[in-house]
Amino acid sequence: MPEVEFFGVAHCPAKTAGRPRASETEARTQELVDTAGRLFLEKGYSKVSLEMIARQARVAVRTIYVKFGGKAGLFTAVINAGCAPFFATMHDMETSVRPLREVLLDFALRFGQLVASPQVLAVHRMVIAESMSNPELALAFFEAGPKQTREAVQRYFARPDIRAQLRQDMPPDALTVHLLNCIMGDQLKRYLFVINATAPMPDVRRQVEVGVELFLGGALRKD
């Protein structure tokens, strides 16, 4: 059975007979998500039917409805699977006692690398191209990716120890938008509208370092 790959993770599910064990069921679900992700990127969201996905993943269409509720739910699962490694690294923002600048630089680098990756840029382009005709696509993308990122950063800025270091006239939601714009705002447009324009990682590092310093220059308390 050939490997399938999405967001840089390859899977090669094993063939089994009889009633599948929990691990086998999980592997088959992952294969379904990987297959859907590959087809979405190859053909576009609107041109991929559940029948097409089910046929290539060797499952019944009813299985997709039972597990994911339909096409938008399956797309959400694709985004969740692709972003899971990134979000897994953000848990320590709620408890980390490292200096503010260090935490933000660490987050910014991981965020910049994620956004600059070819797979994420391809998803961005697809969502932009099809959001008017498929509003559920745009909503699923926002809920699974950008919204979760904003909420995690917002919770960090709302921590009393972190809040005390920042300007009191800027609420956590405004600080979050300011940080993300400093890190990747204009550069994301450059990536999106120029094919294969992802920057080498050293350039991403320098870019986010400058962005974090700009953010801190405007957000830190002066007294």
Fold of 89-219: Tetracycline Repressor; domain 2 (1.10.357)
Q: What is the pLDDT of residue 145?
A: 87
Amino acid at residue number 179: L
Tokens describing residue 164: 């005390």
- Token match 């979405």: residue? 40
Q: What is the pLDDT of residue 10?
A: 43
Q: What is the pLDDT of residue 20?
A: 59
Q: What is the pLDDT of residue 48?
A: 94
CA distance 21 to 85: 25
**Which CATH code is given to the segment(s) 4-73?**
1.10.10.60
- Range list of H helices, 8-117: 22-43, 50-57, 61-68, 71-88, 100-115
Q: What is the pLDDT of residue 198?
A: 52
pTM: 0.78
- The ranges assigned to domains in the chain are 4-73, 89-219
Q: What is the pLDDT of residue 7?
A: 54
Q: Name the CA dihedral angle for 167, 172, 177, 179, rounded to a multiple of 10 degrees.
A: 60
Q: What is the pLDDT of residue 5?
A: 44
Give which of 44, 28, 66 is closest to 137, Cα–Cα. Answer: 44
Task: Judge contact between 34 and 4, C-beta under 8 A.
Answer: yes
CA distance 68 to 72: 8
Task: Judge contact between 182 and 220, C-beta under 8 A.
Answer: no
Give which of 61, 16, 15, 55 is closest to 35, Cα–Cα. Answer: 55
Q: What is the pLDDT of residue 182?
A: 92
Q: Check if 4-73 and 89-219 are the same fold.
A: no
CA distance 115 to 183: 11
Residues of the chain with pLDDT under 70: 1-20, 22, 194-202
Task: Judge contact between 46 and 30, C-beta under 8 A.
Answer: no
